[in-house]
Amino acid sequence: MRTTTYGVRRRVLVAAASSVLLVGGCGLKSGSPMVDDVSPGSVGQGEPLKGATLTVTSKNFSENIILGQMTGLVFKAAGAEVLDRTNLPGSISAREAIINGDADAQWDYTGTGWITFLGHADPIIDPQKQYEAVRDEDKGNGVVWLPPAPLDNTYALAISKKNNAKYKLKTLSDVATLAKKDPGAVTICVENEFASRDDGLPGMEKRYGMKIPAGNIQKMDAGIIYTQVSESDSCLLGEVFTTDGRIKAMDLDVLEDDKNFFPNYNASPVIHLATFEKYPVIAELLAPLAKKLTTEVAQTLNAKVDVDGEDPHEVAKDWLVAEGFIEEE
């Protein structure tokens, strides 16, 4: 079952102690070699990583596991021996693995880097500037952030197309207008933390000048939100993540954050500094993937795991082969 991105990001402090112990103790002692018989396609020609032994890691939700599997498969096609240590619990364990050199590569999110890891309260609105700020500051921690993908796994509010046929909402400003005109109409389902954090519902209400009555707010697990918004009338709106495959599967409209309240969470390859200095070709290998990984692509790939029940490794490999990045023997 997928651990939601929100839970991964926002429960970092609670999980930190146990996660660090996991990495420092037995958490990275297990893992399995990637044994796929793959070869270079459009990336990895000449096997520039031949002779290298590299470890890939990830957080424990579908999208991040898929990205970790992609990285390992590209490294393997480029000639490396790859140890798969993806699916670590929480952000901190994977982060510490990269810092300590227990893992060589993962994908992380610029908003997570800027706010959670580097401790900044306010996001940088421009995605490229936020990436550059994270890249420059985090290098001092021994972490290299490669250029990000267009994929932006940030927060949003969504409404079912069925209900939106009546309200015709397109933006969060439209929600604010509806809340003033007909307060009873705006019911919303959110996670507990999102309901109370300044960078969640309270901050969103303040930015957009809206006030949703407490009785119109229901708190529940993230997975249930999608079902409630899609299949019942208890929630007109629900908190979602923009790359979640259930958005398309459940026929939801995502409302535009037209005042840029929510941070950008663009996915970037993150590499242990010593590893990158030894194998700078990693940037060249992963750049074509990053360019292709849009929010829409992520929704499709995530749905294969979260909706259709496919294996993240196979989803990653099938996409890489279909895009011509690698070939399967």
Of residues 61, 140, 121, the one with CA closest to residue 94: 61
CA dist 30 and 300 (Å) reads 30
Query: Which residues share a beta bridge with 85?
Result: 57
Model confidence over 313-326: pLDDT tens digits?
Answer: 999 999 999 999 99
Of residues 150, 103, 141, the one with CA closest to residue 119: 141
CA dist 240 and 255 (Å) reads 10
String of DSSP letters for 136-156: HHHGGGTEEEPPPPS-B--EE
Quick one: tokens of 44?
């990895």
3-state secondary structure of 240: strand
Give Cα separations from 108 to 7, 64, 91 (angstroms). 15, 8, 9
Average pLDDT, the chain: 90
Is 151:297 a contact under the CB 8 Å cutoff? Answer: yes
Assessment of whether the complete model's pTM goes beyond 0.75: yes
- In this prediction, residue 199 carries a pLDDT of 77
3-state secondary structure of 102: coil
- In this prediction, residue 266 carries a pLDDT of 98
- In this prediction, residue 197 carries a pLDDT of 76
CA dist 257 and 250 (Å) reads 21
Is 292:147 a contact under the CB 8 Å cutoff? Answer: no
Q: In 25-51, which positions are buried (b, 16+ CB within 10 angstroms) versus exposed (e)?
A: eebbeebeebebebbbbebbeeebbee
Higher pLDDT, residue 283 or 192: 283
Model confidence over 60-97: pLDDT tens digits?
Answer: 999 999 999 999 999 999 999 999 999 998 789 999 99
Quick one: tokens of 133?
């700020």
Model confidence over 128-179: pLDDT tens digits?
Answer: 999 999 999 999 999 999 999 999 999 999 999 999 999 999 999 999 999 9
Model confidence over 15-65: pLDDT tens digits?
Answer: 333 333 343 333 344 579 999 999 999 999 999 999 999 999 999 999 999
Instruction: Provide Rg for the chain, Cα atoms.
Output: 20
